[in-house]
Structure 1
Amino acid sequence: MEIASNAQQCGRCRLRFMAIFAFLLAVLVSRAGAYDPLDPNGNITIKWDVVSWTPDGYVAAVTMNNFQMYRHIPTPGWTLGWAWAKKEVIWSMVGAQTTEQGDCSKFKGNIPHCCKKVPTVVDLLPGVPYNQQIANCCKGGVVAAWGQDPSAAVSSFQVSVGLAGTSNKTVKLPRNFTLLGPGPGYTCGPAKIVPSTTFLTPDRRRKTQALMTWNVTCTYSQFLARKNPSCCVSFSSFYNETITPCPSCACGCQHKNCIKSDSKLLSLVGVNTPRKDNTPLLQCTRHMCPIRVHWHVKLNYKDYWRAKIAITNFNYRMNYTQWTLVAQHPNLNNVTQVFSFGYKPLVPYQSINDTGMFYGMKFYNDLIMEAGPFGNVQSEVLLQKDKNTFTLKQGWAFPRKVYFNGDECMLPPPDTYPFLPNSAIFKSLPFTMFILSVIFTLIIIL
């Protein structure tokens, strides 16, 4: 009996150890996936400012700031959720709305906007009546990246909360915040009380202060967002006819229902309409990626060299608005000119200026259309040579990392990059030509 009891205890110990190990591993993996060495401080911070008390609660201004340098929230926009700590209800909202009202049957007369324990909030679309708007609202949930446009990297709404307490001591902070933007990938921490926000009055002559402020920080992990990459990279060069394609099934080959570029199905009405679950409709390719980035080493001058960048959309159901492309390359510290993209250098935490962000020019090429003849944008970049480091050998002219819309793209294996022809042959060419010309001359004379 004692032996059996000891065996049971050992079995329980093993189960506990395995459970603890699995939990720690999951935490470490999620944190590792959320950490981005090119943007180590990037996050989305949600700030709640209680601006006034009501008979049974408060009115709060909620502001979402995107501090990510090159990851934005595209259409169909963000979705924010949380769980109330008590029995709170939302009496009204300005600049946003909940997706469901919930069961408000216990209320008579004045019915709340939402009675759900776990409300889900979305931004309003542009063009709503003026009395339903506040500053930085009503953009369909689209939020720009901080590095691309700080003025558009913010979204706000106002909420009136009831049954919530009417003082700093009685108000309980919401819990379990979730952020979708527009898919998974974000993990939000707990709400934390911070020093109250200070505001300027409209005439900017007097400061006022929020009655209470708390923050929620959300970080993104590509590992949590999807199993496979969402983009891939191909290479080519002027000195080699070989084109290095995207790796086969770079983005997974689970999308079996792809469509060939000449398929008659593409003429059907509604084929380009996005689905609620964001299911892509991909053009049949070897790599099966929605986005392909092609880097071509175009020209080699005495003091400069030139590369061409092309971005192609293979998703028939997606237009990419306010797109961003980040490249890491040792010569990006000497960018001389970018011809038809916007460009901004990004200096990561190690202060090495080898990373830059490309993005579309407004009203010109900031929109990548769905797959088809117009589903691509391209530009060229001119870089000044650094005499100490510049070389075309061993794939130096190609980027080390490429990100599209904040997600890292899959690069080809280094041993498949376009290689330089044997330099020894080129060095011996003048002498060889001289010998051949002498022989040819002697043959003619003789």
Structure 2
Amino acid sequence: MDPSKSKSAFQLHVYKMPPDLNRSELVPPQNFKISGRLNPDYKCGPPVRVSPSVFPDPSGLPGSTAVSSWQVVCNITQAKGSSPRCCVSFSAYFNDSIVPCPTCACGCPSGRSSQTCSATAPALLLPAQALLVPFEYRSVLSTAWASLQRQTVPSPLPCGDHCGVSLNWHLLTDYRGGWSARITLFNWDDTSFADWFVAVELDKSAPGFEKAYSFNASSLEVNGVNDTIFMQGLPGLNYLVGEVDGNNPKKDPRVPGKQQSVISFTKKLTPGISVAGGDGFPMKVFFNGEECALPMVLPTSGSIRPVSRVVFSGVVAFIIVVMLMQH
């Protein structure tokens, strides 16, 4: 997305060994490979001879020229059948539950740990506060929430998503003239991400994009279709820190690195969309070039929230008053 950040230059010291001691014959190293820490691996082509590089002198004197230079071009690739390395959860203003990342979205554990959880059971719905808690500490929260929501709790419990980065897409508002969403990034790795970027594909509602309030964001036209929003951190704030210890490392769980922003949309260019019905949720999400796993279901407005006795009594009293007035 930024050509100035798509290049990397480095130097290698290559020693000659007998019998290849000819100083005029230079053979560059072969089989270059770059492994991404979170984003996919890169497949590199062979070294291609190019014009010798010129190295300017910082003092202003004439620079030096390399004896020989080679260029290696590497492109993002992903092996067929490989698991993603990031995932997305969905939530909305009309439902208290978080639809979490799918079970084993980024792969399942092997060995003994695979016998203590189910790789096939669907992930349990979560309360909002569980998003900030590492998966190994979510069992109490998720089972208690399942009991409140009258959701069946499988035994054994579902395995985690095992993703290094997760994103939450929260449908924040929906009104006649527009709508808004909040996107939150969580980094569960020990290492940080500098110059991160996120691309979100919205099938029908992307043309109504207006503004992101805490990120740099713009609407992109991909293959002639305006359905993608590209986001980066603001200058000086585009650093997604890694997971750190809690206030009390002996008792508190570790805390993920986190960044979030609200995104606003207008409906002027997208009349007839159903935001709550699905058009307000992304079809695809990419983090640093890696396509993330998405939930299998969307939040619904069919959840029944308990009504307090005081409110219920007030409703009954109002109905009685109306009946007496009619008589």
TM-score by length of 1: 0.48
Query: How big is the shift at 1:306?
Result: 0.5
Query: How big is the shift at 1:219?
Result: 1.7
Query: How big is the shift at 1:188?
Result: 1.4
Q: Name the structure 2 match of 1:229.
A: 84
Query: How big is the shift at 1:234?
Result: 1.0
Q: Name the structure 2 match of 1:360.
A: 233
Q: Name the structure 2 match of 1:216.
A: 72
Query: How big is the shift at 1:158?
Result: 4.1
> Of the candidates 155, 161, 185, which is equivalent to residue 41 of structure 2?
185
Q: Name the structure 2 match of 1:395.
A: 278
CA 1:369–1:358 in structure 2 vs 1: closer, same or farther (change >3 Å)?
same
Could you list the per-position Cα deviations for residues 264-301 of structure 1 after superposition, in whole angstroms to 9, with x for gaps in the alignment? xxxxxxxxxxxxxxxxxxxx973232222110110123
Residue 407 (1) aligns with residue 290 (2):
yes
Query: How big is the shift at 1:357?
Result: 2.3
- Letter of the aligned partner of 1:248 in structure 2? T
Could you list the per-position Cα deviations for residues 355-381 of structure 1 after superposition, in whole angstroms to 9, with x for gaps in the alignment? 122222344352233153352221110
CA contact (8 A) 2:89 2:166 kept: yes
- Letter of the aligned partner of 1:384 in structure 2? T
Q: How many residues are paired up?
A: 256
Residue 378 (1) aligns with residue 260 (2):
yes
Query: How big is the shift at 1:189?
Result: 1.6
Question: What is the aligned-residue identity percentage?
Answer: 31
Q: Name the structure 2 match of 1:156.
A: 9
CA 1:249–1:182 in structure 2 vs 1: closer, same or farther (change >3 Å)?
closer
- Letter of the aligned partner of 1:326 in structure 2? A
Could you list the per-position Cα deviations for residues 122-164 of structure 1 after superposition, in whole angstroms to 9, with x for gaps in the alignment? xxxxxxxxxxxxxxxxxxxxxxxxx3xx444433234576767
Aligned counterparts, 1:27-426, within 5 A? 69=1, 147=2, 150-158=3-11, 171-172=26-27, 174-182=29-37, 185-193=41-49, 196=51, 214-223=70-79, 227-254=82-109, 256=113, 260-261=136-137, 286-315=160-189, 317-330=190-203, 331-348=205-222, 350-364=223-237, 366-370=239-243, 372-373=254-255, 375-385=257-267, 386-392=269-275, 394-413=277-296, 416-419=297-300
CA contact (8 A) 1:395 1:419 kept: no
Distance 2:277 2:200 in 1: 18
Root mean square deviation, CA, Å: 4.0
Distance 1:175 1:259 in 2: 42
* SS of residue matched to 1:376: strand
CA contact (8 A) 2:52 2:65 kept: yes
Comparing both chains, which one has the higher relative contact order based on Cα–Cα distances under 8 Å and sequence gaps of 6 or more?
Answer: 2
CA contact (8 A) 2:86 2:163 kept: yes
Asked which structure has the greater CA Rg, the reply is: 1
Query: How big is the shift at 1:260?
Result: 3.7
CA 1:162–1:369 in structure 2 vs 1: closer, same or farther (change >3 Å)?
closer
CA contact (8 A) 1:198 1:207 kept: no
- Letter of the aligned partner of 2:241 in structure 1? I
Residue 444 (1) aligns with residue 301 (2):
no
CA 1:253–1:200 in structure 2 vs 1: closer, same or farther (change >3 Å)?
closer
- Letter of the aligned partner of 1:336 in structure 2? E
Query: How big is the shift at 1:229?
Result: 1.7
Distance 1:361 1:200 in 2: 32
CA contact (8 A) 1:402 1:408 kept: yes
Could you list the per-position Cα deviations for residues 44-79 of structure 1 after superposition, in whole angstroms to 9, with x for gaps in the alignment? xxxxxxxxxxxxxxxxxxxxxxxxx3xxxxxxxxxx
Query: How big is the shift at 1:320?
Result: 2.9
* SS of residue matched to 1:154: coil
Tell me, which stretches of 5 or more residues in structure 1 are unaligned?
1-68, 70-146, 263-283, 422-436
Distance 1:291 1:151 in 2: 25
* SS of residue matched to 1:219: strand
CA 1:200–1:291 in structure 2 vs 1: closer, same or farther (change >3 Å)?
closer
Tell me, which stretches of 5 or more residues in structure 2 are unaligned?
115-133, 139-157, 245-253, 303-317
Distance 1:259 1:239 in 2: 25
- Letter of the aligned partner of 2:163 in structure 1? C
**Bigger mean CA deviation after superposition, 352-361 or 252-261:** 252-261
Query: How big is the shift at 1:390?
Result: 2.5
Distance 2:220 2:54 in 1: 31
CA 1:390–1:200 in structure 2 vs 1: closer, same or farther (change >3 Å)?
farther
Q: Name the structure 2 match of 1:24.
A: none
- Letter of the aligned partner of 1:343 in structure 2? A
CA contact (8 A) 1:392 1:420 kept: no
Could you list the per-position Cα deviations for residues 225-269 of structure 1 after superposition, in whole angstroms to 9, with x for gaps in the alignment? x9322111111112334432211121222174998449xxxxxxx
Distance 2:37 2:170 in 1: 32
